[in-house]
Structure 1
Amino acid sequence: MDKSVQILTEKVSLFASESTWVEGLATQQLIKTSELAGMIAVAGMPDLHPGRGYPIGAAFLSDTKVYPALVGNDIGCGMALWQSSLNVAKANVDKLAKKLRHVESELDESWQPLVQKRKVEKQISVSLFDVALGTIGGGNHFAEFQAVDEVYDASAMEQLNIDRKKLLLLAHSGSRGLGQSILVGHITEHNHQGLLVNSPAHLTYMQAHNEAVSWAELNRELIARRFFDAINVNGEFVLDVNHNFIEESTPRGDDHKAGWLHRKGATPSDKGYVVIPGSRGDYSYLVKPTALTSKHHALALYSLAHGAGRKWKRGECQARLSHKYKKDDLYKTSLGSKVICGDKGLLYDEAPQAYKRCDSIVGDLVNAGLITLVARLRPVLTFKTQGGYSA
């Protein structure tokens, strides 16, 4: 079990076996972040990779200060899993793809009663970015139809009310321009110095942050609903878990102190079932966190990996792959799934080869005693941005 847990410094832990490749710059950023004022502990996940100054795939616990820049611009980004009423056996991928032509456009007037109702229910007052509600965005965001490929825990599947014969939809997106505007405003006023806990600036930021988290959750809900609407099927909510946010953390025994827990590309292990997605050409895994009293949860800051983790930097992938793969080759994967993506650069940047294997990531978490496997999910149709809509 301990082979997947590395203690890098007194404050820094890395939940990855030595056979799991982690870029040196990522561990350097992890250690550097642990030196920020008020930082108590830092935990890197097996999908750890470098970010813009701060690593992605990590959790950070502080006491006297909070650091909005650690969370970044995509506040509330996360994964939502829904189940469709469509049997996998009856899903025609080409027909599905043709029906998804308009899922990036602004939601039309017919959606507005639902949008306004859900905003009230989720206590969202901001309206400046409503034009982007129900849209995925660029980068590594996606909506993917998936099939249950293998079941490891039938009782857990029953508890989640998942029918293995039905097509699933996994939506990965966040707060879009709203989160970006919050971060830009914060950096403009405070740079990267962090905010004193319970100061007026901290309270102001957290109010905006919490609304952005709710907005991101609603965004994923609307993405799922409009995808189901586009292909004329019904959909049922299964789970939604954020992986970019800050929350106040209470003590959980002698091995976990109170403070403010920042997650940047780290999925909570204390909020129920989680999906850890692979690349568009790899399996995703539905997992169940083990009992939180298990040995390593506190050391991992009650966090898990949020995905497979990048191997290659964006912007480098086309040069690495274009001599082997033509653009048209990347619209199909080795698992037989298809890809919708109108952005050539993104098509290469998000290629399966640019990511680690997801089974190695979940394997490290299993070996660390943090999760058990529930099901393996196979991609059927992955939708990325077409590149023509960026609100």
Structure 2
Amino acid sequence: MGTSKVNAPLQQKPQGAFVRKFYSSATWIEGKAEEQLQHVAQMHDIQKIAVFPDLHPGKYGPVGIAILANRLHPQLVGNDIGCGMSLFILDLPARKIRPEKAAKRLRLLEGTWDGDPFALMEERGLPLDATPSSLGTIGGGNHFCELQVIDKIHDQELAEQAGLIKDASYLLVHSGSRSFGTEVFEEICSHGSADLDLDHPQAINYLNRHDQAVAWASLNRQIIAQRAAKALRSEAKLLTDSPHNLVERVKGAILHRKGAAKADMPFVPLAGSRDSLSYLVKPTNNDEESLLSLSHGAGRKYDRSSMHGRLNNKKSDLARLSRTSFGGHIVCEDRHLLIEEAPEAYKNSAQVLRELTGQKLATTVAAFQPLVTFKKAKQESKRPTSRRNTYE
């Protein structure tokens, strides 16, 4: 295990990229994440890397970083292209919510959406064969739909600008491009190129398909929110949509974000675990070294497989994991996922926020308390004994 240096300055590794770490020694960073970071920094075509306090290991490279490069590296973004978080306000007063009743209603999010996806896909310029049956579904892993209420408004003026209402209820939706993003990623990987010049035909095709996946993921979050709002007998209005797995063209270079939220927008959600506060922040964008990016959440502290050894599989423990210290409810019938996504698996979201505000990358707008976190409403099928060791 390793930790970062206090207020680590802009660094340049020998024959490597400039690396700027936006966290202090107060933030827990695993050594494997640091090793992956060093590997990425040594790639010959990487210019700059911004690293955030939610940094943790990933499958192809670390999560919680933004990377400016001269070439395209699809594996640094991975398969869940366009994954992000969207915050919605509901016309449902917080005082009228009964968490247990709301949890039962949100179970309707399980399974496929019964709406017509094609008009919405055509409206967004998406190919009609882009896995329409997956639209409106959350997926597994760390994805969720969470019913929230405001715990505290930190900046009243900014809260009004963001459209927040103290006594309202909210939905925070975390999901991505599902099987469509996987299809786009596997297609580029099938050519065997780890990196590509930006004018290479495969790169051009990938970037076009990538942009479709980002749009697909945004639409997916919108439909999930509409499904949840309908189950709660309310209407949802989008306040902010913030992707954190994507690439962008930047003056002849390419900016990769892996678990790093786009900060060139008015407001960005910062998700906690299902038993901690989440936040809405306003990016300050006063530091070019941050590559217009921010942390997207608390970030994992322990990988999925190790959580099965850290927590017991007894009924009493599983019952505890289905409730929160706020009196909220967790809808997750997959006991493996319930353990792997336990609050103990994540870093402290308040500490991540302190680092971001301390580094003057963001201003806190409001804190949100979880009431119901939906992940999965059906019992899991039997899983193989050999489990993939992953943080993502």
TM-score in terms of structure 1 length: 0.91
Residue 149 of structure 1 aligns to a residue in which SS? strand
| Deviation larger for 171-180 or 298-307 | 298-307
Deviations 1:28-75 (A, max 9, x none): 111111222311011111000001130011111001x10011000000
State the partner residue of 1:306. Answer: 296
**Is it true that 1:97 corresponds to 2:91 in the alignment?**
no
Give 1:74's aligned residue.
80
1:56-75 alignment to 2 at 5 Å? 56-63=63-70, 65-75=71-81
Q: Which among 34, 38, 43 is matched to residue 50 of structure 2?
A: 43
Matching of residues 373-384 of structure 1 within 5 Å: 373-384=364-375
What's the secondary structure of 1:347's corresponding residue?
helix
Letter in 1 for 2:133: V
The aligned amino acid for 1:41 is: K
Q: CA offset at residue 155 of structure 1?
A: 1.1
- 1:157 and 2:182 matched: no
User: How far, CA to CA, are the matches of 2:154 and 2:27 in structure 1?
Assistant: 23
Partner of residue 317 from structure 1, selected from 272, 284, 307: 307
Counterparts of 2:60 and 2:136 in 1: how far apart (Å)? 30
Give the drift of 1:118.
2.1
Q: AA paired with 2:374?
A: F
Alignment partner, residue 319 of structure 2: 328
Deviations 1:150-199 (A, max 9, x none): 001111111122211011000000000011111112112124x2111111
CA distance in structure 1 between the aligned counterparts of 2:293 and 2:8, rounded to whole angstroms: 13
Count residues in correspondence.
Answer: 372
> Is 1:249 the counterpart of 2:250 in the alignment?
yes
Q: Once the 2 structures are TM-superposed, how far is the Cα of residue 128 of structure 1 from its aligned partner?
A: 4.1
Identity %: 38
Unaligned 5+ runs, structure 1: 251-257
> SS of the counterpart of 1:212?
helix
Cα separation, 2, equivalents of 1:387 and 1:304: 34
Letter in 2 for 1:129: T
1:212 and 2:203 matched = no
1:365 Cα deviation after fit: 0.6
Q: What do the CA deviations read for 1:111-161 (whole angstroms, capped 9, x no partner)?
A: 21xx33321221111424111100000000000001101001111111122
Q: TM-score, normalised by structure 2?
A: 0.91
Within a 5 Å distance, the mapping from 1:1-391 to structure 2 comes to 3-10=6-13, 11-63=18-70, 65-108=71-114, 111-112=115-116, 115-191=117-193, 193-250=194-251, 259-290=253-284, 292=285, 294=286, 297-322=287-312, 326-386=317-377
Cα drift, residue 319 of structure 1: 1.4
Partners in 2 of 1:388 and 1:215 — Cα distance?
A: 28
Q: Are the counterparts in 2 of residues 5 and 368 from structure 1 also a CA contact under 8 Å?
A: no
Alpha-carbon distance in structure 2 between the residues aligned to 1:201 and 1:126: 22
Residues 344 and 116 of structure 1, relative CA distance in 2, 3 Å threshold: same
Matching residue's letter, 1:42? I
* Separation in structure 1 between the aligned mates of residue 171 and residue 163 of structure 2, nearest angstrom: 14
**What letter is aligned with 2:229?**
F
For residue 3 of structure 1, report the CA deviation from its aligned partner.
Answer: 4.7
Alignment gaps of 5+ in structure 2: 382-392
